[in-house]
A and B are shown apart, each in its own frame.
Chain A
Amino acid sequence: MDLTFTPEQQAFRQQARTWLEANVPKPGVLRSLDTKEGFEDHRVFERTLFDGRWSVVSWPEAFGGRDVGIMEWLIFEEEYYRAGGPRRVSQNGIFLLAPTMFEFGTEWQLNRYMAKMASGEEIWCQGWSEPDAGSDLAGIRSKATKVDGGWLLNGQKTWCSRGAFAHRCFGIFRSDPEADRHRGLTYYLIDMAAEGVTVRPIGQLDGETGFAEVFFDDVFVPDDDVLGGIGDGWKVAMATAGSERGISLRSPARYTEAATKLMDLLASTPTGDVDGFDPRAAIADDVVKAYLDAEAYKLHTYMTATKVRAGHKVGAEASATKIFWSEVDVNIHRAALRLLGEGADLYEPVERGGVDLSEWLDGYLFALSGPIYAGTNEIQRNVVAERMLGLPRG
């Protein structure tokens, strides 16, 4: 056990810090990711990251990465959030699809897609859920029919994050209606500009269109854009789901950074006594608990990364991880709103300690989606119970 970083890793951290401090835009400069213009602002920033070779540090150099290991990736992430880096518009591509591509993709697919994914030129969305297939993902009904040179897609996908403005979509479709429900699926890489694709943006809690429903009407996808084998869609999708729930989508830095700000917010909250109620004293324990949970998530991630480096493949523990980070995120932001008390729901920017307090409200709304997306936490608890504790399947 050695919980220190090597001199090379420290140098890498310093290099990332210097670059990020010079290049990360100030808060509020980029417009909201979930609007058309904000989406473009974030793509421009992705291009800047890519040109500095900081957008995908763990990828091979050929696709714009630095070919560094998992520890260095975590270091980069810590620095990214420390510098106040914005949400990544390319996250569905670089964090979810990319690990699956490196595992299952053909050389042609890697050459065609990866660099454009890394630079933000092509933003990907996820086409999995359907109106009647959410938690029961294997129940999807959207179809793929074999035709000369490719496939025709028909059906409807929904809750596609970034779907309103994305250029491409990775989706699973039923390619063999006769086969067992887990075996008749195939994974496709789809052009959102193809004929027959209709996008209908959906307003989220805050009114902005972070996700969309997507309709497919005889959409042609060439054979080259099948990811993995025909009928292997479930297996390929589960690899992506592992990344989504495990360490690649939500690196701990996001939470430790928010948790540190939360501790500052507690420290700057005046003590008071109204009818025997001192909000600071009453909420302090929730605050420290959220802070420690964020810290624990970081430690757990370093522990997992140690195992991954030694060849371990993350399995059911990704479900435990997903439950934990999504609840940590909610708890951090909920504690912040409680500290703010009356007025926590105001959009009016109020600064305290260099932080715009309305950020806590935005963060809370975003955090609330965590226990729902990437497989609801109820589904993840079933997985933990069955695969980590050995309970019988229901």
Chain B
Amino acid sequence: MDFSFSDDQQELRNAVAKVLSDWCTPADLHARYVGLDADTGRAKGRWEALSGLGVCGLLINEGAGGFGLTDIDLIGIAEEAGRVVLPEPLSTTAGVVLPIVASTDAGAPLVVAALEQGHSATFGGVTFGAKRHKITTTIDGSRASTPRVANSTAEQFLLVAEVGGDLELHVVGRQAVEITETPSLDLTRDLATIHWTPSATTRIASGEAAGTLIEELLNRAALYSAAELLGLCESMLTLTASYVSERKQFGVPVGSFQAVKHHLAGARVRLEFARPALYRAAYSLATTAQTTAHDISMAKSMASDAADEAARVSLQCHGAIGYTFEYDLHLAMKRAWALAADFGDARSHRARVFRLVSAAKA
């Protein structure tokens, strides 16, 4: 029993965290909200810097141009991406889309090519598209007949289809789909609706194999959004702790009042106990444990609740300044709201836990 990260894992995480802090500042995010960052080249530079570290291919084996590492190595990096409210799909690409695509015969060469091309080959769009798809209704919560995806500026999309009652996975280039921007509260996510038609040439998996991969896809999406949520939690609580330590009322910092302390302590405790659940889930996925689905649902439900609580108390402890567009809090808060609900909210994952525990006993 060793519940810790190795020095190498810690160093890799720190190296990525440094690049993220340099390249994804609150100023960058504010600029993106008003549509400026495309001009400054910061977004492009950021993705190039991250690609330069090879993060996207961390889970891909070395023969295919990756590093052959595991989810245990990647999970802390996803937390860091959440901490800076990274707009680009770093953990989605590295932790969700590429490992799924690479595990299929048809998809493997696409991953090799994408990693060779570096930054230009952004994969986006973990989607749950097919109408009446059971996953669409239980995990995504959306009943739309067309998928809603984040990171719609991506070059290629991994999409789910239901054809003649069978599930299929497709990788589709952006030239073959119709993209309609779908504005949302967190403008940095680039949400869009995708209209597309499945064809045999874009299919990478079908039948039973597709079903298994979609299950893994959803697990991975839940796990990595849980990681980002905990990074967001930490970010909101750090910002708020610093603000209430400086802001004075009645001649003293407002953070010296117990009412404020207890709000923040409650959220900090949730974060403290959600973290080991996240790491255990990453470990279970990496070691293909029997309990992987259970452990991931546990991690996502705890992370969603922790982020929801952190967002709620952070706003309250800031007072009116936190309610403004110019202050930094809303950047993390809006992402937290979105991710807390995406890929299954806390309650839907708890329902899955009960189903899995009951099934294991039966």
Contacts and interface: CB of A to CB of B under 8 A. Distances in A.
B78 to A, nearest CB: 16
A18 interface: no
B120 interface: no
Interface stretch (A19-27, A157-165, A231-239, A289-297): A289-297
Contact of A392 (B1, B255, B298, B353): B255
B258 A378 contact: yes
B1 to A, nearest CB: 5
A310 interface: yes
Interface residues of B, number: 45
A295 B353 CA distance: 12
Interface in B214-250: 237, 241, 244-245
A378 B262 contact: yes
Given A381-B266, A382-B258, A389-B265, A1 B5 contact: yes
A295 B298 contact: yes
Interface in A347-394: 378, 380-382, 384-386, 388-394
Interface in B256-312: 256-258, 260-262, 264-266, 268-269, 272-277, 279-280, 283, 298, 301-302
Interface in A305-357: 305-307, 310, 317, 320, 323-324
Contacts of B261: 381-382, 385-386, 391, 394
A1 B266 contact: no
Interface stretch (B89-97, B127-135, B201-209, B354-362): B354-362
A4 B255 CA distance: 42
B265 A381 contact: yes
A289 to B, nearest CB: 6
The dominant DSSP class at the B interface is: helix
B354 A284 contact: yes
B253 interface: yes
B318 interface: no
Contacts of A180: none
Contacts of B354: 263, 266, 284, 287-288
Most buried by B among A292, A295, A307, A380: A292
B4 A310 contact: yes
A147 interface: no
A146 to B, nearest CB: 39
Contacts of B2: 1-3, 306
A393 B358 CA distance: 47
A9 interface: yes
Given A303-B276, A392-B256, A1 B3 contact: yes
Contacts of B237: 389
Interface in A1-39: 1-5, 9
B347 A285 contact: yes
Contacts of A297: 273
Given A293-B273, A382-B261, A5 B1 contact: yes
Nearest to B246: A392
A291 B3 CA distance: 21
B265 A384 contact: yes
A306 B1 contact: yes
Contacts of B279: 1, 299, 303
A284 B121 CA distance: 44
A389 B273 contact: no
Contact of B262 (A1, A320, A381): A381
Given A3-B280, A296-B298, A324-B273, A391 B1 contact: no
A380 to B, nearest CB: 8
B72 interface: yes
Nearest to A391: B255
Contacts of A320: 265, 268-269, 272-273
Contacts of A295: 277, 298
Contacts of B269: 320, 323-324, 384
A300 interface: yes
Nearest to A393: B256
B176 interface: no
B53 interface: no
A388 B274 CA distance: 16
Contacts of B358: 267
A390 B361 contact: no
Contacts of A310: 4
> Which are the 10 A-B pairs with shortest beta-carbon distances?
A385-B261, A299-B276, A381-B265, A384-B265, A288-B350, A391-B255, A303-B3, A306-B3, A394-B256, A389-B241
Interface of B: 1-6, 72, 237, 241, 244-245, 252-253, 255-258, 260-262, 264-266, 268-269, 272-277, 279-280, 283, 298, 301-302, 347, 350-351, 353-354, 357-358, 361
Given A300-B272, A382-B261, 15 more contacts: A2-B1, A71-B1, A267-B358, A284-B354, A288-B350, A299-B279, A300-B275, A302-B3, A306-B3, A323-B265, A385-B260, A389-B237, A389-B264, A389-B268, A393-B256
16 contacts: A1-B6, A2-B1, A3-B283, A291-B357, A296-B277, A297-B273, A300-B272, A300-B275, A303-B275, A303-B279, A382-B258, A388-B272, A392-B253, A394-B252, A394-B256, A394-B257
